[in-house]
């Protein structure tokens, strides 16, 4: 039986059979109307939402898809907001970049043309570039805003549109909601100014890369260690993405002479032909790089995501086997290296700080506390780390920061997670350890002995579609209204509810305010020092559970035993929460 079309869907789709939609678009919509009512419904049942991070969606025709019309309409809304915020500026400026995804270059060109049509000067990267270089460009070129076309590590069917403000960071309040309001005012392509002004578009090339790379080189803390370890063997893969040139160049610039790339994955492609998912958080995404590392007996594996803001690593364990480190472990190694080296070099004045997200390991705070470095927790999302950097600009010095989802930043000239910087500084950390006869794995164990053995695990539960969204909402209500009394045998002692913006001590009933923006996140803390964070994903149909447990590691020789105990504790936690 043929599915009946919703009249409202058919009405919206029928508008796309008329001008100003081009002939190819009209033909595709006509085909869907006549042959595929299910797909037509998916394409038109709603408008692709311009959220606080911009657009992200499957590419195709329709109001609920990423295409040149939805991109142009979003751009017109952003252009209107730029003019509203800078009314006395004759020619405000914007930087535009794009990654390796299919149609990214096309969408970036449309963005540049619509911006120019609205009298905004555009600095458009001529070829694909990593997202953090866009953040750097916004600041370096004194732009009022920025846009990068990317869907980060989503599947190949997706693309996206990330908007940045003049501080080089992704939009936060009040700009995020205000831009959304302006975009929602754009009813259709007829409201978009397509009269391109080519004279307002400047193409950025390799000369700009040189400026960015020079700033990255200035971050190096142990050039002498790198010189001694210049043959330290590194395998790198961009997984077909935008760091294909810059990471090898950056590693070479700081002195690493033995960098081997995974040739099959150096081919820039939005189809990501060698991986199921181009996400360095997924073990399979690093399999080819690890195979190459085994072949050449490398010391370190680095892998970045398509838009170059996340990095996954693999190191050798005590059996000389490659193992993957998670985002918390990599962040801990990096922050330990940075802060301890700042201390040894006499660079700590008591006016330095680091930032992490609330779901990231508490180990980072323990490291900061030992060295007297101020530390701050923020909501999930690197834009909130950038906001703290902005808050203390000219007052305090930012050493570094990161989040468990494989995003890190060193220095403050970029205001987003930066995989190019991270690859360089992680490699430097490894070379510094090697210079002392240590491996990264061995260094991590030493950190656990000194600060406590922190073990974290992320569980993502996917619930697709409208029914899935409702199920995720019900799960959050259950945990919020009926929290467990104990988790894995340990009493629940503290609940932080970021939706209510309050922290409740269950022992004495004390309620304290949380000085962070409202967010649908719950955190449970138990008497034994464990932390469980629960939050729906903002970009995927998932609810995420972050488990963090802590044990004592008195001797490195006890590592495996304590590791197993903590693993069992996390398994018990999952049973307690019935997930």
Q: Which of 254, 246, 232 is nearest to 309 (CA)?
A: 246
d(CA 372, CA 361): 18
3-state class (DSSP) for residue 540: coil
Residues with Cβ within 8 Å of residue 133, at least 6 apart in sequence: 97, 125, 208, 209, 212, 246, 308, 420
Q: Nearest 5°: phi and psi at 434?
A: -60, -35
At 406 the three-state DSSP class reads: coil
Question: What span, in angstroms and rounded, lies between the C-alpha atoms of 12 and 16?
Answer: 7
Hey, which bits of 365-487 come out as E strands?
A: 374-378, 397-403, 407-410, 453-462, 486-487
Residue 381's alpha-carbon distances to 360, 385, 386, 427, in angstroms, are 11, 7, 9, 25
Burial, 210: exposed, middle or buried (Cβ in 10 Å; 0-12, 13-18, 19+)?
Answer: exposed
Quote the CA–CA distance of 275 and 154 in Å, as a whole number: 12
**Are the CB atoms for 452 and 553 separated by under 8 Å?**
yes
Q: What are 547's two structure tokens?
A: 């488990």
Is 152 an annotated catalytic residue? yes
Choosing from 152, 405, 519, 576, the catalytic residue is 152
Catalytic sites, residue numbers = 152
């Amino acid at each position: 039986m043929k599915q009946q079309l919703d009249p409202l869907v058919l009405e919206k789709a029928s508008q796309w059979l008329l001008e100003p939609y081009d002939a190819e678009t009209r033909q595709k919509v006509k085909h869907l109307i006549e042959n595929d009512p299910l797909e037509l419904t998916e394409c038109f049942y709603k408008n692709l939402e311009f959220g606080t991070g911009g657009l992200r969606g499957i590419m195709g025709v329709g109001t609920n898809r990423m295409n040149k019309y939805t991109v142009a309409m979003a751009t017109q809304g952003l252009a209107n907001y730029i003019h509203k915020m800078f009314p006395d500026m004759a020619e405000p400026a914007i930087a535009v970049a794009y990654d390796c995804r299919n149609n990214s270059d096309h969408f970036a060109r449309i963005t540049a043309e619509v911006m120019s049509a609205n009298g905004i000067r555009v600095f458009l990267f001529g070829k694909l570039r990593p997202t953090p270089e866009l953040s750097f460009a916004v600041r370096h070129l004194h732009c009022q805003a920025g846009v990068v076309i990317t869907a980060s590590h989503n599947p190949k069917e997706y693309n996206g549109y990330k908007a940045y403000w003049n501080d080089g960071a992704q939009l936060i309040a009040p700009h995020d909601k205000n831009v959304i309001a302006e975009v929602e005012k754009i009813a259709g392509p007829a409201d978009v100014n397509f009269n391109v002004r080519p004279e307002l578009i400047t193409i950025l090339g390799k000369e700009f890369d040189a400026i960015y790379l020079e700033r990255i080189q200035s971050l190096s803390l142990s050039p002498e260690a790198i010189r001694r370890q210049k043959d330290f063997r590194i395998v790198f893969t961009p997984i077909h993405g935008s760091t294909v040139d810059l990471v090898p160049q950056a590693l070479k610039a700081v002195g690493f002479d033995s960098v081997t790339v995974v040739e099959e994955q150096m081919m820039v492609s939005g189809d990501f032909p060698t991986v199921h998912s181009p996400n360095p958080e997924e073990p399979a995404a690093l399999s080819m790089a690890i195979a190459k590392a085994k072949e050449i007996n490398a010391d370190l594996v680095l892998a970045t995501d398509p838009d170059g803001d996340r990095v996954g690593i693999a190191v050798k364990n005590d059996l000389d086997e490659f193992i993957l480190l998670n985002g918390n472990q990599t962040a801990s190694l990096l922050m330990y290296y940075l802060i301890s080296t700042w201390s040894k070099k006499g660079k700590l004045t008591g006016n330095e700080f680091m930032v992490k997200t609330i779901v990231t390991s508490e180990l980072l705070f323990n490291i900061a506390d030992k060295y007297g470095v101020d530390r701050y927790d923020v909501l999930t999302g690197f834009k909130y780390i950038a906001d703290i950097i902005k808050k203390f600009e000219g007052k305090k010095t930012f050493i570094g920061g990161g989040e468990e989802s494989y995003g890190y930043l060193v220095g403050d000239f970029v205001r987003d997670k930066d995989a190019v910087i991270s690859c360089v500084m992680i490699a430097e950390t490894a070379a510094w350890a090697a210079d002392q006869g240590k491996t990264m794995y061995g260094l991590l164990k030493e950190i656990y002995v000194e600060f406590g053995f922190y073990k974290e695990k992320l569980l993502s539960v996917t619930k697709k579609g409208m029914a899935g969204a409702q199920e995720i909402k019900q799960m959050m209500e259950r945990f919020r209204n009926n929290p467990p009394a104990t988790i894995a045998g340990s009493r629940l002692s503290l609940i932080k509810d970021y939706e209510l913006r309050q922290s409740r001590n269950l022992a004495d009933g004390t309620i304290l305010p949380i000085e962070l923006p409202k967010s649908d996140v719950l955190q449970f803390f138990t008497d034994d020092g464990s932390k469980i964070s629960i939050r729906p994903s903002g970009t995927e149909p998932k609810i995420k559970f972050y488990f963090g447990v802590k044990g004592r590691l008195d001797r490195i020789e006890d590592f495996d035993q304590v590791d197993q105990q903590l693993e069992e504790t996390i398994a018990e936690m999952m049973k307690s929460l019935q997930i």
